[in-house]
Amino acid sequence: MGPPSQPVQMSVASTSKATSQVSSSESSSIISETPIAEITFESQSSSTSEGEANISTWVDEQHQQEQNRKALNVAVDHITEGRISPLRSSLNTPWEEVTERQRNYYLKKTREVIATTMSVIAPGQESDLWRGLVQAPPFYEEEPAAKKKMWDQQTVQTLVKAYQEADTWQTRQQILSLFADDYTKDELQELIPGLSKWRIDQARAHASESGPGKPVQQQPIYRTRLNPVKTDHFLAFLTQPHLLQDVAYGTKTMKLDSGEVITIPAAIRTIIPSRIIQQYSQYCTSANFQPLPDRTLFKIIEVCAARQQKSLQGLDYISTEGAEAFDAICSVVDSLVQNGASADWAKTVTHKLKEGKRYFQTDYKTHVKLEDRCGDHCIAFALSEKGKETLAVKCNHSHEITCERCVEIDSSLSEVQKMIEKEGLLTEEHKSRLCFTFEQSSSAIYSWKSHLLRAVNQDLAKQSALQQLDKQSALIVMDWAMKFLPLKYREQMTDFFGKRGRSWPVSSVITKGDEGKFDVECFVHIFNNFRQDWSAVCAILQSVLQTVKSENPSLTKVFLRSDNAGCYHCAPLILSLPAIGKKSGVSVLRSDFSDPQAGKDICDRKIASMKTHIRRYVNEKHDVLTAEDMKEALESHGGIKGCRIAVAQTDEANKEHARQKWEGVKSWNNFMFETDEDIRVWRAFGVGVGEVVNFATVPQTHDLPTLTISAPFGPPQSRASHITTSAGGATSSALFCCPEPGCVAAFNSANKLGDHMDVGEHHKELERESTYDRIRKQWAQAVTGIAHGPGLASQSLEEESGVGVVGSSRVVNEGWAIRTVKGGQRMSDKMKTYLTDIFNRGATSGQKADAVQVAQEMQQGSRWEAVVSAKRVAHSQADYELFR
């Protein structure tokens, strides 16, 4: 291995130029296919080209061999007084490949040289020496002394920074694998504080299994215009949220959270794009699509890297807002420093805040458990309603362990608050402005935390339903696709945005097949015109149940799952479910809602591949303007595996359906239908026995809203996708990794990853271990051990760790993570018009609204909702970009 790779020097100017190219709609054709500099792992120096360097390595080595032979020949000639002929060449061809004659020559020379050497070492005892030697373990198979590469300090620091910025564990693992073998575990944990041993082992395994990165293959390049269909196909792949990768690493420089720009070492610039290309070529093989040459793909990644990364955010606005809030607090700290706060103080606080953000993005969900001795992690505690026995679980443990990573977030926030309020630092006006930002940001941070915990819990509802599935039951996940706009081949961008979109309701039906495997089938209804409301959902659900029941008569029960959208989470729909059950012969057992923005997984993924499919069809010179066109597009090229499409109209009469009322229905997230009239409800899945609500006046079956199917679902596809729930090993060479924070499952195909996310269980491992983890482990040992009582254990733990285990002054409130339902948060018409305006302006000009700026413009009334709304606009524009 050569010296450590040097960062490839590139001017910032050329990168920004490349990035700006892609924002034009013609971008794909502009990329010229000039060969890019070959990047090999053993890059020698930035001044010579790598090709030359490789040749010169070989020349050097040959020269060295020649020198060695000369030295040996001189010595042997001298000792034997010229009786032995000189060695003419060194063997560089593998032993199995050389001829018998050559072998004999090298064996003979070896014998002569060894005999000569032995006669010097032990004159007269050559045969004893030989016997001793052949009985000893072969010296040439001994462990080679650890071949540690010497990294220069700066390169390692850059690698560590890149590691910390990476979005997926797999990229982090790949980056770590570059230098994991060159440092001891202790040294690595010093470089990356808290890094768990498990992760180090994985990274080392990765380095030895797959090698620390392969260079992109050299292929002939022809200077032609890029094929737009193929380019588009690849770009669509890059924007699939569940395949989200650290695309930014394709660039030569990377902007860190802190605003600092670092040059990405060549080693990283090669490994990540090549993984993406490998993934893509696997994906193309399974979709029977001929991709562009690798080299061109590499170039595309490089050109569009920075931009893609940005537009992928905003899929879950609670998390995005939370992450942005951490950044906002950091900028509050910056302006405090400008007004005289100490720079050292700022450095420490900023570091803690960054760590906090990283914690929520990685390990927090892994820490969250149904029962835990830390109040910040105990689901039962966090979601129990104080004073309401039916909606609470009594923990039979106390919450006496504190997690220092949770505490650190609290403490850094309160430090910032104290500094804002410090006498004489800020003017009153400035103070109130920073206070405002601080308060909204800190509330966004805590919303994120609660959201993460609730999401873990509501996911358990899905797991529990899957476990209960049998031949008579199914789980239906319902969701709404983003609006899809009609597409004309060669359409002007402005025309494209001026139109009204079409919504796709997607219902994924999961059933249990043979041998404990699951089948997933997706039913999509496309309408030319309709309202996205409860009556449509009610009609769609009936249609799905009827279709499924007619094909599988033994089906009698279903579990429902959907997100929090108003058309699902409302009284009229929920109260109609018993009647729908009666009418279709399939009764609804439960209806569970995922936490807002979480758990729409299945449908989102199907929608992503549907959009790609439609784009491909349009690029083949078709127009997709009506629902019928869309069905044709989706069924082109053999359709999409497991997806069935119907065109439908809602019936006119649906308008007259009166809305049922249920005060506070939004605050319940889990519904179980016990009888036609009794519904058992929970705020959080499994927390408490629940409350029973009685509704005597439910709609009759003939009152239900219905729809007319004008083009029916295609026939059921052969159930090729039997899915096993095996957790998917954390094999480091697997290409597709699960995007769930903390989950380390990885798979060899995009489909297998999809299966894992549809019905599998996540396999969570910590990224970093903290004192909390050690205490918890020791607790577990201590309480199961006979020698120690719990009291003893906590005492000794406290002494050892120096962290307050018992009697911490920090109070975590029971029920802290319960979602508060804000009533009647309606926007004023004026505000609505204003926001719509901004959205449209952004959509037509392609220039996205800057949420912060919009919020500032709207701040006269200082309304928090205004800020939230402004951010939503910016995020939905990001959504918009996704499927363009």
Which stretch in 42-50, 390-398, 541-549, 580-588 sits in contact with Zn ion by CB under 5 A?
390-398
Rounded least distance, CB 403 to Zn ion, Å: 3
Q: How far apart are CA 435 and CA 412, in angstroms?
A: 15
Q: How far is CA 215 from the centre of its chain?
A: 25
Instruction: Tell whether residue 645 is a contact of Zn ion (CB under 5 A).
Output: no
- Residue with smaller CB distance to Zn ion, 168 or 503: 168
Instruction: Tell whether residue 740 is a contact of Zn ion (CB under 5 A).
Output: yes
Looking at residue 316, its amino acid is: D
- The answer to whether the beta carbons of residues 674 and 680 sit under 8 Å apart is yes
Q: How far apart are CA 844 and CA 499, in angstroms?
A: 11
Helix (H, G, I), strand (E, B) or coil at 168: coil
- Residue with smaller CB distance to Zn ion, 526 or 730: 730
- Residue with smaller CB distance to Zn ion, 230 or 367: 367
Which pair of structure tokens corresponds to residue 708? Answer: 């007319």
Which stretch in 310-318, 376-384, 507-515, 530-538 sits in contact with Zn ion by CB under 5 A?
376-384
Which stretch in 404-412, 543-551, 694-702, 715-723 sits in contact with Zn ion by CB under 5 A?
404-412
Which stretch in 107-115, 227-235, 451-459, 738-746 sits in contact with Zn ion by CB under 5 A?
738-746
Rounded least distance, CB 228 to Zn ion, Å: 35
- Residue with smaller CB distance to Zn ion, 346 or 378: 378
Rounded least distance, CB 23 to Zn ion, Å: 34
Cross-sheet strand order for the sheet of 473-480? 691-694, 678-682, 670-673, 587-593, 557-562, 473-480, 505-512, 518-527, 643-650, 707-711
Q: Residue 180 — φ and ψ, nearest 5°?
A: -65, -30
Which stretch in 350-358, 550-558, 614-622, 755-763 sits in contact with Zn ion by CB under 5 A?
755-763
Q: How far apart are CA 523 and CA 521, in angstroms?
A: 7
Helix (H) or strand (E) holding 591: strand 587-593
Q: Residues 738, 803, 855, 866: which binds Zn ion (CB under 5 A)?
A: 738
- The answer to whether the beta carbons of residues 569 and 600 sit under 8 Å apart is no
Handedness of CA 219, 220, 225, 227 (dihedral sign): negative
Looking at residue 784, its amino acid is: T
Rounded least distance, CB 504 to Zn ion, Å: 26
Rounded least distance, CB 744 to Zn ion, Å: 8
- Residue with smaller CB distance to Zn ion, 87 or 403: 403
Rounded least distance, CB 247 to Zn ion, Å: 21
Rounded least distance, CB 169 to Zn ion, Å: 11
Q: Residue 693 — φ and ψ, nearest 5°?
A: -115, 135
Q: Residues 406, 475, 544, 735: which binds Zn ion (CB under 5 A)?
A: 406
Rounded least distance, CB 376 to Zn ion, Å: 5
- Residue with smaller CB distance to Zn ion, 449 or 606: 449
Binding mask 284-303 for Zn ion (x = CB under 5 A): --------------------
Q: Who contacts 157 (Cβ-Cβ below 8 Å, separation ≥6)?
A: none
Which stretch in 331-339, 643-651, 735-743, 834-842 sits in contact with Zn ion by CB under 5 A?
735-743
Which pair of structure tokens corresponds to residue 717? Answer: 């596809």
CA distances from 568 to 466, 505, 523 (A): 21, 12, 17
Instruction: Tell whether residue 534 is a contact of Zn ion (CB under 5 A).
Output: no
192 DSSP β-pair partners: none
Rounded least distance, CB 369 to Zn ion, Å: 9
- Residue with smaller CB distance to Zn ion, 175 or 812: 812
- The answer to whether the beta carbons of residues 550 and 519 sit under 8 Å apart is no
- Residue with smaller CB distance to Zn ion, 126 or 385: 385
- The answer to whether the beta carbons of residues 757 and 242 sit under 8 Å apart is yes
Beta-strand ranges (E) seen in 419-491 are: 473-480
Which pair of structure tokens corresponds to residue 399? Answer: 């919450």
Rounded least distance, CB 482 to Zn ion, Å: 24
Instruction: Tell whether residue 403 is a contact of Zn ion (CB under 5 A).
Output: yes
- Residue with smaller CB distance to Zn ion, 420 or 453: 453
Q: How far apart are CA 150 and CA 234, in angstroms?
A: 38
Burial of 753 from C-beta contacts in 10 A (0-12 / 13-18 / 19+)? buried
Rounded least distance, CB 364 to Zn ion, Å: 6
Instruction: Tell whether residue 381 is a contact of Zn ion (CB under 5 A).
Output: yes
Rounded least distance, CB 336 to Zn ion, Å: 26
Rounded least distance, CB 275 to Zn ion, Å: 18
Instruction: Tell whether residue 745 is a contact of Zn ion (CB under 5 A).
Output: yes
Instruction: Tell whether residue 779 is a contact of Zn ion (CB under 5 A).
Output: no
Helix (H, G, I), strand (E, B) or coil at 709: strand
- Residue with smaller CB distance to Zn ion, 227 or 748: 748
- Residue with smaller CB distance to Zn ion, 813 or 836: 813
- Residue with smaller CB distance to Zn ion, 476 or 759: 759
Rounded least distance, CB 113 to Zn ion, Å: 58
Rounded least distance, CB 378 to Zn ion, Å: 3
Instruction: Tell whether residue 405 is a contact of Zn ion (CB under 5 A).
Output: yes
Q: Nearest 5°: CA angle at 528, between 526 and 530?
A: 90
Conformation bin of residue 64: beta by default, left when phi > 0, alpha when psi is -120 to 50: alpha
- Residue with smaller CB distance to Zn ion, 151 or 198: 198
H helices of 723-766, in order, are 750-759
Q: How far apart are CA 807 and CA 811, in angstroms?
A: 10
Instruction: Tell whether residue 762 is a contact of Zn ion (CB under 5 A).
Output: yes
Which stretch in 60-68, 213-221, 243-251, 740-748 sits in contact with Zn ion by CB under 5 A?
740-748
Instruction: Tell whether residue 558 is a contact of Zn ion (CB under 5 A).
Output: no
Which stretch in 10-18, 392-400, 652-660, 869-877 sits in contact with Zn ion by CB under 5 A?
392-400
520 DSSP β-pair partners: 510
Instruction: Tell whether residue 378 is a contact of Zn ion (CB under 5 A).
Output: yes
Q: Who contacts 455 (Cβ-Cβ below 8 Å, separation ≥6)?
A: 365, 594, 595, 598, 599
Rounded least distance, CB 758 to Zn ion, Å: 11
- Residue with smaller CB distance to Zn ion, 367 or 776: 367
- The answer to whether the beta carbons of residues 829 and 822 sit under 8 Å apart is no
Q: How far apart are CA 806 and CA 792, in angstroms?
A: 12
Size of the site for Zn ion (CB under 5 A): 14
Q: Who contacts 38 (Cβ-Cβ below 8 Å, separation ≥6)?
A: 49, 50, 51, 215, 218
H helices of 312-427, in order, are 317-338, 343-361, 364-367, 379-382, 404-421
Instruction: State the first-to-last Cα distance of the chain, in angstroms, to the nearest integer.
Output: 45
Rounded least distance, CB 396 to Zn ion, Å: 8
Reference 684, options 314, 266, 381, 310; nearest CA is: 381
- Residue with smaller CB distance to Zn ion, 346 or 403: 403
Instruction: Tell whether residue 743 is a contact of Zn ion (CB under 5 A).
Output: yes
Binding mask 344-373 for Zn ion (x = CB under 5 A): -----------------------x------
Q: Residues 207, 236, 301, 395: which binds Zn ion (CB under 5 A)?
A: 395
- Residue with smaller CB distance to Zn ion, 400 or 677: 400
Q: How far apart are CA 545 and CA 308, in angstroms?
A: 39
- Residue with smaller CB distance to Zn ion, 394 or 621: 394
Give the interface with Zn ion as residue ranges (CB under 5 A): 367, 376, 378, 380-381, 395, 403, 405-406, 738, 740, 743, 745, 762
